[in-house]
């Protein structure tokens, strides 16, 4: 078995053994042997460990567990548990849960859905919450004290309304403008981040596996000048375009990588690879007019809506209606019962960048506020990135 196959493969023999134990101990417990309950729990955990791939298990430990601790602590300060159980536990909206503390409903929504993923709350519909047994346990001063003590003895935090890229938890903790500036001053962390992102993407569906590239981009391609361009905006060191060139050799247009100067200087591709390099800040007007595709991967989730509207507005000004497309490869969260991968990333985005992962309805609201239209949203597999296709009306 190759390295990639191993990293993406469950332990089939382990699944069979654990499943047998779960069945046996579950049946014993249901027939009145209360001592079998703990064995059932242990076997169920063994089943999950065997069924997960190594990559999924790693992401659970590095993504889910740290963000769950943070989300639970914020939920305590927001009084989510005690508010949810009030009025005999009738379903409550984000606005109702925000009222006792005067918090931002947008923040409450993001913390509440994290609590749903931890089974600390239940969801009756998009943005509508009810208590469960764990909610009731946490609604009083006893057990909720464990969350306060175990978090506050080692950390402190501040979660204002998450919409200011320059005044969020990261700035409070580090006293510097943005996380991007901090990374620039810590090149070893910057390199570790890029290595990790590239490794992770090899184990997830490529955007070209999700989006119908031939139908949408290859067919009808104009080969004259800028009309042929596929431009990767904020595309890092160029791996995405290199993969695109290998995966879609039928695309005969020009390929352009746009990035800030220090990233362009570190690019691993260039003209010898058939890729043009161009210094560009996506907060300024887009210099390539009427391109076939303006591609943004994991860019807009780094910014609050206000900055995203600026980015999309510049692209709208450059597009040729009926021909150009904006292709966004980013998480598309479910409006209800979002997967833990997306929820964990969303908490990271709040803490590091005062930004967010967006639900399908939030993507529509953002795009339409810019006078653009979503032509399609494409997904493949739970917890992966999706693809949002945008056109100019």
Q: Is the same domain home to 92 and 234?
A: no
Question: Is 163 part of any domain?
Answer: no
Count the neighbouring beta carbons within 10 Å of the beta carbon of residue 370.
Answer: 19
Smallest CA-to-CA distance from 379 within 308, 326, 329, 327 is with 329
Tokens of 9: 């493969």
Question: Is 181 part of any domain?
Answer: no
- Boundaries of domain holding 3: 1-52
Report the DSSP beta bridge partners of residue 111. none
Distance, first Cα to last Cα, the chain:
49
Q: Is the same domain home to 308 and 353?
A: yes
CATH number at residue 378: 3.40.50.150
Count the neighbouring beta carbons within 10 Å of the beta carbon of residue 390.
Answer: 24
Give the pLDDT confidence score for residue 161 in this predicted structure.
64
Tokens of 93: 């909206």
Report in angstroms the alpha-carbon separations of 115 from 76, 118, 169, 225.
Answer: 11, 5, 20, 51
Q: Is the same domain home to 207 and 350?
A: yes
Count the neighbouring beta carbons within 10 Å of the beta carbon of residue 105.
Answer: 17
Q: Is the same domain home to 32 and 59?
A: no
Count the neighbouring beta carbons within 10 Å of the beta carbon of residue 195.
Answer: 10
Q: Is the same domain home to 310 and 331?
A: yes
How many angstroms separate the CA atoms of 243 and 229, rounded? 16
Residues 115-137 have pLDDT tens digits of 999 999 999 999 999 999 999 99
Report in angstroms the alpha-carbon separations of 242 from 4, 160, 256, 267.
Answer: 19, 40, 11, 11
Over the range 288-314, which residues count as b (16 or more CB within 10 Å of their CB) and which as e? bebbbbbbbbbbbbbbbbebbbebbbb
Helices (H) and strands (E) in the chain, counts: 21, 12
Question: Is 224 part of any domain?
Answer: yes
Smallest CA-to-CA distance from 235 within 299, 316, 307 is with 299
Question: Is 180 part of any domain?
Answer: no
How many angstroms separate the CA atoms of 350 and 348, rounded? 5
**For the chain, which residues score pLDDT lower than 50?**
none
CB 194 within 8 A of CB 187: no
Give the pLDDT confidence score for residue 178 in this predicted structure.
80
Q: 105, 131, 157: which is the final residue of a domain?
A: 157
In this prediction the pTM is: 0.86
Give the pLDDT confidence score for residue 156 in this predicted structure.
66
> Could you confirm whether 364 is annotated as catalytic?
no
Residue 191: alpha-carbon gap to chain centroid: 20
Of the listed 61, 203, 301, 314, which one is catalytic?
301
Q: What are phi and psi of 320, to 5 degrees?
A: -100, 110
Report the DSSP beta bridge partners of residue 295. 232, 327
Question: Is 186 part of any domain?
Answer: no
Q: Is the same domain home to 261 and 301?
A: yes
Give the pLDDT confidence score for residue 137 in this predicted structure.
94
Report in angstroms the alpha-carbon separations of 235 from 193, 244, 364.
Answer: 14, 12, 23
Indicate the burial class of 231 (C-beta count within 10 angstroms; 0-12, 13-18, 19 or more). buried
What's the alpha-carbon Rg for the chain, to the nearest Å? Answer: 23
Question: Is 172 part of any domain?
Answer: no
Question: Is 97 part of any domain?
Answer: yes
CB 260 within 8 A of CB 281: yes
Domain count, the chain: 3
**HSE, side-chain direction, 13 A CA sphere, residue 145:** 4
């Amino acid at each position: 078995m190759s390295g990639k196959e191993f990293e993406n493969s469950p332990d089939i023999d382990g699944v069979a053994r654990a499943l047998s134990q779960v069945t046996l101990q579950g049946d014993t417990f249901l027939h009145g042997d209360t001592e079998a309950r703990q064995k059932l729990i242990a076997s169920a955990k063994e089943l999950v460990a065997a069924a997960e791939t190594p990559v999924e298990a790693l992401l659970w430990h590095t993504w889910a567990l740290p963000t769950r601790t943070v989300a639970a602590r914020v939920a305590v300060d927001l009084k989510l548990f005690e508010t949810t159980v009030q009025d005999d536990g009738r379903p409550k909206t984000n606005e109702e849960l925000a009222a006792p503390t005067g918090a931002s409903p947008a923040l409450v929504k993001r913390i509440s859905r994290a609590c749903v993923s931890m089974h600390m709350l239940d969801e009756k519909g998009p943005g509508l919450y009810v208590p469960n047994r764990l909610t009731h346990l946490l609604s009083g001063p006893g057990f909720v004290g464990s969350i306060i003590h175990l978090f506050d003895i080692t950390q402190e935090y501040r979660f204002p309304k998450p919409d200011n890229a320059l005044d969020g938890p990261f700035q409070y903790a580090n006293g510097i403008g943005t996380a991007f500036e901090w990374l620039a001053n810590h090149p070893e962390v910057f390199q570790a981040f890029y290595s990790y992102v590239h490794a992770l993407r090899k184990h997830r569906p490529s955007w070209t596996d999700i989006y119908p590239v031939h139908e949408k981009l290859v067919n009808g391609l104009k080969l004259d000048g800028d009309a042929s361009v596929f431009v990767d905006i904020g595309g890092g060191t160029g791996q995405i375009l290199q993969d695109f060139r290998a995966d879609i050799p039928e695309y005969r247009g020009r390929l352009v990588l746009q990035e800030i100067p220090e990233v362009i200087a570190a690019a691993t591709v260039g003209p010898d690879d058939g890729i043009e390099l161009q210094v560009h800040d996506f907060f300024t007007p887009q210099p390539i007019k009427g391109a076939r595709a303006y591609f943004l991967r994991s860019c807009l989730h780094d910014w609050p809506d206000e900055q995203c509207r600026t980015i999309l507005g510049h692209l709208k000004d450059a597009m040729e209606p009926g021909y150009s497309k904006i292709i966004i490869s980013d998480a598309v969260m479910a409006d209800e019962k979002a997967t833990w991968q997306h929820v964990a990333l969303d908490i990271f985005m709040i803490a590091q960048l005062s930004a967010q992962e967006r639900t399908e309805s939030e993507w529509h609201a953002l795009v339409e506020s810019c006078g653009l239209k979503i032509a399609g949203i494409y997904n493949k597999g739970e917890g992966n990135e999706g693809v949002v296709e945008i056109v100019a009306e």
